[in-house]
Amino acid sequence: MNIGYYPGCALHGSSNDYDQSLKACLGALGISLQEVKDWICCGATAAHSLNHKLALALPARNLALAERDGFKEVFAPCPLCSMQLLKVRKAVADDSVRQELSQIVETELRGEAEVLNLIQVFESVGLDRLKTAVKQPLGSMSAACYYGCLLLRPPDVVKFDDFEQPNSMETLLTALGAKTVEWSYKTECCGAGMTMASEDTVLELAHKILTNAVEHGANCVVVACPMCHVNLDMKQAAVERKYGKKLDLTVYYLSDVVGLALGLSGEQLGIDRHFVTHAPTTAKTAIAAGPGSEH
Partner 1 sequence: MELSGTITHSARIESLAGSKIANCYQCGKCTAGCPVASHMDLVPNQLIRLLQLGRDDLALTSPSIWACVSCLTCSARCPKQVDCAAVLDALREFSLREGKASPEAQIVVAFQQAFLDNIKRNGRLNELELIARFKLAVLSHTRQLAFLFKDAGLAPQLMSRKKLHLTSERAHDCEVVGRIYARCAPSQPVLAAPVEAVAK
Q: Residue 207: which region, alpha, beta or left (left: phi > 0; alpha: psi -120 to 50)?
A: alpha
User: Per CB under 8 A, does 35 bind partner 1?
Assistant: no
Shortest Å distance, C-beta 178 to partner 1: 25
Task: Tell me if 149 contacts partner 1 by CB under 8 A.
Answer: yes
Binding part of the chain for partner 1, among 5-13, 67-75, 215-223, 260-268 by CB under 8 A, reads 5-13
Residues in CB range of 277: below 8 A, 6 or more apart: 250, 266, 271, 295
Cis-peptide, bond into residue 154, ω within 30° of zero: yes
Shortest reach from residue 204's CB to partner 1, in Å: 9
Select 175 or 189, whichever has its Cβ closest to partner 1.
Answer: 189
Instruction: Tell which one of 35, 38, 182, 215 touches partner 1 (CB under 8 A).
Output: 38
Cα Rg of the chain (Å, integer): 19
Does position 245 interact with partner 1 (CB under 8 A)? The reply is no
Burial class of residue 244 in the structure, from the number of CB atoms within 10 Å of its CB (0-12 exposed, 13-18 middle, 19+ buried): exposed
Phi, psi of 206, rounded to the nearest 5 degrees = -65, -40
Shorter beta-carbon distance to partner 1: residue 108 or 131 = 108
Instruction: Please name which of 131, 286, 282, 159 lies closest in space to residue 219, comparing C-alpha atoms.
Output: 286
Q: How far apart are the C-alpha atoms of 266 and 277, rounded to whole Å?
A: 10
Q: Does 184 bind partner 1 (CB under 8 A)?
A: no
Interface pick for partner 1 out of 40, 133, 279, 289 (rule CB under 8 A): 40
Q: Is 197 in the site for partner 1 (CB under 8 A)?
A: yes
Distance linking the first and last C-alpha atoms of the chain: 38
Stated as kind and residue range, the H or E segment containing 39 is none
Q: What's the min distance (Å) between Cβ of 270 and partner 1? A: 9
Q: Which is nearer to partner 1, 125 or 230 (CB)?
A: 230
CA dihedral defined by 163, 271, 294, 191, rounded to 10 degrees?
-40
241 binds partner 1 (CB under 8 A): no
Q: Which is nearest to 47 in space by CA: 93, 6, 87?
A: 87
Q: Residue from 4, 5, 6, 15 that binds partner 1 (CB under 8 A)?
A: 15
CB of 12 closer than 8 Å to CB of 35 = no
By CB under 8 A, tell whether 201 contacts partner 1: yes
CB closer to partner 1, 125 vs 202? 202
Q: Which of 104, 127, 134, 279 binds partner 1 (CB under 8 A)?
A: 104
Contact footprint for partner 1 (CB under 8 A): 9-10, 12-17, 38-41, 43-58, 61, 87, 90-91, 94, 96-97, 100-101, 103-106, 149-150, 152-155, 163, 187-189, 191-194, 196-199, 201, 205, 234, 273-275
